[in-house]
Amino acid sequence: MAAEAEQGFCPLDEASLVAYIKATPALASRLGGALDSITIREVGDGNLNFVYIVLSDAGAIVIKQALPYVRCVGDSWPMTRERAYFEASALREHGRLCPDHVPEVYHFDRAMSLIGMRYIEPPHIILRKGLIAGVEYPHLAEHMSDYMAKTLFFTSMIYNTTTDHKKGVAQYCANVEMCRLTEQVVFSDPYRVSKFNRWTSPHLDKDAEAVREDDELKLEAAELKAMFIERAQALIHGDLHTGSIMILPKVIDPEFAFYGPMGFDIGAFLGNLILAYFAQNGHADQANDRKAYKKWILKTIEESWNLFYNKFVELWNKHKEGNGEAYLPDIFNKSDLLSLAQKKYMINIFHDSLGFGAAKMIRRIVGIAHVEDLESIRDANKRALCERATLNCAKAILKGRRQYENIEQLSIELTENTIRGIATQSLFCFTHSKENAKR
Amino acid sequence: MAAEAEQGFCPLDEASLVAYIKATPALASRLGGALDSITIREVGDGNLNFVYIVLSDAGAIVIKQALPYVRCVGDSWPMTRERAYFEASALREHGRLCPDHVPEVYHFDRAMSLIGMRYIEPPHIILRKGLIAGVEYPHLAEHMSDYMAKTLFFTSMIYNTTTDHKKGVAQYCANVEMCRLTEQVVFSDPYRVSKFNRWTSPHLDKDAEAVREDDELKLEAAELKAMFIERAQALIHGDLHTGSIMILPKVIDPEFAFYGPMGFDIGAFLGNLILAYFAQNGHADQANDRKAYKKWILKTIEESWNLFYNKFVELWNKHKEGNGEAYLPDIFNKSDLLSLAQKKYMINIFHDSLGFGAAKMIRRIVGIAHVEDLESIRDANKRALCERATLNCAKAILKGRRQYENIEQLSIELTENTIRGIATQSLFCFTHSKENAKR
């Protein structure tokens, strides 16, 4: 702690934050002159950081500070504060590429690991909470596909020179601690015994064990993990679940950002929509059976991918004569050849997205960090049924992802409760599980 | 030039080199005290640098200096001198991992872009020259598989932590100018009209045009190019052709080194052996029909891959309980599962190697830099026949690489002059080509 203080770091509380803001014109100006009217509320519900909403009579800002450990675990799990630097960098870079869907950064203090950024006013909420409440967002697919297409296309080799690309890759290589965290909690722990893993027990004891003993699944997870580490395809958000999206939408929290496979972002978003889909049965009641809402989620999944596909290819066509190194115009000099290359590229991203999405679903059922969509289902029996359905779906997608030709196939299978021929919903499973628990 | 001089750089000639050596104890000591007996010979036959052999009565060294342009093109093609830094770094790193097959670095001067290293005495020659002369090297496969297995395994994620891996990736990202050169001359120029391309003309005019109009080939080349840029799998040599191997063997000239796909190195070596194979018909004469030698080359190709496979998996098994992030021991906790993972990993490297090897063969026939194996065939008709056979073989491998299950299949096809059903040797082709030339 002494060493860190020497570097100019001190963890803020509400009192010292007021003093910090007063001393920082870039922040003070956003609150008008009205600094005596400031009210501060700590709202960090994430796993890692402290987040303050700062309101004055004349304005509002959000202050986010990273502490040198994982907040939800405590100082027994150290975590570099430098993640704030990568978050600020990615917010600025993605914000430049897609200002509509990234909050503006007003101020970044590297020594303090502190970001000051735009406050997104109520009634705007985290998408995950809206999905739990059953709120339909008619523009969600349109906006999120816009965000994904722009941030991924413009940081890929289709658009950039190798020189610019490698510069970015090198910069974000230093965000290695965050990558390691993902490797552990997404690609490793769910497939082995780990003290961090948890699941609805005893209901899913057998299911969690089955994941750890499924060789085919482990091979697929290892392949995705290698891709996650080795493949610097674009500057990805790195944690694009529905809790990282505030409904306008604005995408927040890119502290896991690095040059990685595009499918990791797209898969995170689609996978979390599928999680939300399976959680609906747990939220259904007599007033609302959630059937219409489940249809809307499926439609949003389909549209998100299809719009992403179209927007990405549109950007590609628009910039095909640019400086991008991957598909040179004098090689891809015929429109049918370029079109074939695009189809090939997009189907590969699609399969990657399905794989990463599935891996992220699995880890939310049997790994360390769960999601409110399922956690908020109070009846453990009901929750376990939803979780098992999610898990079975994810396992089947992870193994069979290369067979999908389009998103509609997945959507139909979800409607029919079978994925690649594997039943996802089964009322009998729970009985088996209870029996196992008795043994 | 003035700016560079300010940074402490000046291009050496034989006279100033003597002064430099005298002022540099790490070099002077390697020549004994006998500095007045020094003789210097410039021997750089490569495309990029100046190489001096420095002999004294009491010792010998090699001095290599990079100039800020591509030597074979001249100062119209600028090229960063920093390549010498990456060459020295890779020589040291690979030398630590495989000292038997990497020359020792005595001295590196970054400002002068100058490396002093071990001199490899006659009769040791560049492998390519030995292959042209028809010399059999009984230990070549053994030694080169050892070099490839050690340098690639120990710099991969199977052995390393993510932290170490990303540190290396970031460091070598700065060798981007060399990567760009490869992208252009290997993956781009052969597939488009470029002033740098050349081929045996008019004999291969039609063949070169066919490469530029082969959509399937262009898609495959683009896929490999993306992998070359995006996939940081291991610290590869980056230019492992038979001209980068001095027969002991010692592998020299890793100035293209960066974290890239393993198959690029393995493919370079195997692809250049296949080039040598096809060149033999051009070197055959009444005294030596080269048939036995062609068999030896095929045997060496087979053994190089098979021994690499075995050695790599052996290293993997030996270090499976280590710190490597890719295949954790508590996930790959059964020997049959690990064995399956290894088979999957190795077949992917095999297909990558075939693809990259084929791409490197194509560029040697229709791109800027050709190989002495074929260039030294003086009769243009004869040379064109060998080149067309090479080109047809490479095209078929590039398109069909995923169908190969083992190296023997390729070897049999080479013997039978058909690759994936496509004839590589045809006496009729030349006639067609002549007709085309007349048009």
Question: Are B328 and A192 inside 8 Å of each other by CB?
Answer: yes
CA B64 to chain A, closest CA, distance in angstroms equals 26
Choose the closest CB to A229 out of B162, B225, B341: B162
Question: Are B337 and A219 inside 8 Å of each other by CB?
Answer: yes
Residue B345 has pLDDT above 50, yes or no: yes
In this prediction, residue B79 has a pLDDT band, given cuts at 50, 70 and 90, of: confident
B34 shares contact with chain A (CB less than 8 Å): no
Chain B CA closest to residue A180: B162
CA distances from B292 to B11, B247, B298 (A): 47, 20, 10
Give φ, ψ of B114 to 5 degrees.
-125, 130
Neighbours of A373 (CB within 10 A): 26
CA B138 to chain A, closest CA, distance in angstroms equals 36
From A155-169, A205-219, A366-380, A416-430, the region with the lowest mean pLDDT: A416-430
Chain A CA closest to residue B184: A325
Cβ contact A271:A356 at 8 Å:
yes
A219 shares contact with chain B (CB less than 8 Å): yes
For chain A, positions 375-434, list CB contacts with chain B under 8 A: none
Question: Are B183 and A162 inside 8 Å of each other by CB?
Answer: yes
A305 shares contact with chain B (CB less than 8 Å): no
Q: What's the rounded Cα separation, in Å, for the pair B370 and B189? A: 13
Structure token pair of residue B352 = 């990558």
Domain A127-438 CATH class label? alpha beta
Looking at chain B, the whole-number percentage of residues with pLDDT higher than 90 is 82
Question: Are A163 and B169 inside 8 Å of each other by CB?
Answer: no
Question: Are B173 and A166 inside 8 Å of each other by CB?
Answer: yes
Nearest to B250 by CA among B29, B95, B411: B95
Choose the closest CB to A173 out of B166, B221, B340: B166
Chain A CA closest to residue B233: A230
Confidence at residue A34, expressed as pLDDT on a 0 to 100 scale: 73
In this prediction, residue A2 has a pLDDT band, given cuts at 50, 70 and 90, of: very low
Residue A437 has pLDDT above 60, yes or no: no
Average pLDDT for chain B: 91
Looking at chain B, the whole-number percentage of residues with pLDDT higher than 70 is 94
Average pLDDT for chain A: 91
Q: How long a stretch of residues is chain B?
A: 439
CA B235 and chain centroid, separation: 14
Q: What's the rounded Cα separation, in Å, for the pair A251 and A270? A: 15
pLDDT in tens, A150-187: 999 999 999 999 999 999 999 999 999 999 999 999 99
For chain A, positions 233-272, list CB contacts with chain B under 8 A: 233
Question: Are A230 and B233 inside 8 Å of each other by CB?
Answer: yes
List chain A residues with CB under 8 Å of B174. Answer: 166, 170
In a 3-state reduction of DSSP, which class is residue B101? helix
CATH homologous superfamily of A2-118 equals Phosphorylase Kinase; domain 1 (3.30.200.20)
Confidence at residue A419, expressed as pLDDT on a 0 to 100 scale: 84
pLDDT in tens, B423-439: 877 543 343 444 444 43
List chain B residues with CB under 8 Å of A162. Answer: 176, 179-180, 183, 229
List chain B residues with CB under 8 Å of A334. Answer: 215
* Region A38-49 average pLDDT: 81
SS in 3 state form for A257-307? CEEECHHHHHHHHHHHHHHHHHHHHHHCCCCCCCHHHHHHHHHHHHHHHHH
B183 shares contact with chain A (CB less than 8 Å): yes
From A122-126, A375-379, B43-47, the region with the lowest mean pLDDT: B43-47
Confidence at residue B419, expressed as pLDDT on a 0 to 100 scale: 84
Q: What is the ipTM of this complex?
A: 0.89
Question: Are B337 and A233 inside 8 Å of each other by CB?
Answer: no
Question: Are A330 and B192 inside 8 Å of each other by CB?
Answer: yes
Residue A75 has pLDDT above 60, yes or no: yes
Confidence at residue A309, expressed as pLDDT on a 0 to 100 scale: 98
| CATH code 3.90.1200.10 region(s) in chain B | 127-438
Residue B320 has pLDDT above 70, yes or no: yes
In a 3-state reduction of DSSP, which class is residue B189? helix
* Region B251-271 average pLDDT: 95
A-interface mutation test, from B192, B217, B220, B328, most A Cβ less than 10 A away = B328
| A vs B: CB pairs below 8 A | 124
B323 shares contact with chain A (CB less than 8 Å): no
A307 shares contact with chain B (CB less than 8 Å): no
pLDDT in tens, B48-69: 788 999 999 889 999 999 988 8
> Of residues A123 and A28, which shows the higher confidence score?
A28
List chain B residues with CB under 8 Å of A341. Answer: 219, 222
List chain B residues with CB under 8 Å of A225. Answer: 325-326
Q: What's the rounded Cα separation, in Å, for the pair B35 and B31? A: 7
Please name the residue ranges forming H helices in B231-379. 262-283, 291-318, 335-366, 372-375
B-interface mutation test, from A79, A167, A171, A173, most B Cβ less than 10 A away = A173
In this prediction, residue A47 has a pLDDT band, given cuts at 50, 70 and 90, of: low
Confidence at residue A28, expressed as pLDDT on a 0 to 100 scale: 94
Question: Are B222 and A333 inside 8 Å of each other by CB?
Answer: no
In this prediction, residue B74 has a pLDDT band, given cuts at 50, 70 and 90, of: low
Question: Are A325 and B170 inside 8 Å of each other by CB?
Answer: no
Q: What is the DSSP letter of A103?
A: P
List chain B residues with CB under 8 Å of A332. Answer: 218, 222
CA distances from B254 to A145, B236, B302 (A): 43, 8, 25
Confidence at residue B354, expressed as pLDDT on a 0 to 100 scale: 98
Cβ contact B117:B105 at 8 Å:
yes
List chain A residues with CB under 8 Å of B157. Answer: 226, 229-230
| CATH code 3.30.200.20 region(s) in chain A | 2-118
pLDDT in tens, B105-120: 999 999 999 999 999 8
Cβ contact B197:B189 at 8 Å:
yes
A80 shares contact with chain B (CB less than 8 Å): no
pLDDT in tens, B106-159: 999 999 999 999 998 887 889 999 999 999 999 999 999 999 999 999 999 999
> Of residues A46 and B325, which shows the higher confidence score?
B325
Q: What's the rounded Cα separation, in Å, for the pair A257 and A176? A: 10
B-interface mutation test, from A158, A165, A166, A209, most B Cβ less than 10 A away = A166
Chain B CA closest to residue A162: B180
CA A86 to chain B, closest CA, distance in angstroms equals 15
Choose the closest CB to B188 out of A167, A229, A328: A328
Residue whose pair of structure tokens reads 């045997």 in the numeric block: B299
Nearest to A384 by CA among A282, A297, A280, A293: A282
Chain B CA closest to residue A328: B188
Confidence at residue B73, expressed as pLDDT on a 0 to 100 scale: 66
List chain B residues with CB under 8 Å of A173. Answer: 166-167, 169-170, 173
In a 3-state reduction of DSSP, which class is residue A181? helix
Q: What's the rounded Cα separation, in Å, for the pair A43 and A3? A: 28
* Region A409-433 average pLDDT: 72
* Region B314-321 average pLDDT: 97
From A110-124, A205-219, B377-391, the region with the lowest mean pLDDT: A110-124
Confidence at residue A264, expressed as pLDDT on a 0 to 100 scale: 97
Q: What's the rounded Cα separation, in Å, for the pair A101 and A269? A: 15
In a 3-state reduction of DSSP, which class is residue A240? coil
B35 shares contact with chain A (CB less than 8 Å): no
* Region A371-397 average pLDDT: 96
List chain A residues with CB under 8 Å of B163. Answer: 176-177, 180
Choose the closest CB to A192 out of B163, B180, B330: B330
* Region B7-23 average pLDDT: 90
In a 3-state reduction of DSSP, which class is residue A108? strand
Confidence at residue B32, expressed as pLDDT on a 0 to 100 scale: 86
Confidence at residue B70, expressed as pLDDT on a 0 to 100 scale: 73
In this prediction, residue B197 has a pLDDT band, given cuts at 50, 70 and 90, of: very high
B163 shares contact with chain A (CB less than 8 Å): yes
Confidence at residue A46, expressed as pLDDT on a 0 to 100 scale: 60
Structure token pair of residue B140 = 């070549």
From B38-47, B188-197, B384-393, the region with the lowest mean pLDDT: B38-47
B218 shares contact with chain A (CB less than 8 Å): yes
Please name the residue ranges forming H helices in A33-156. 83-97, 127-133, 140-153
Confidence at residue B432, expressed as pLDDT on a 0 to 100 scale: 40
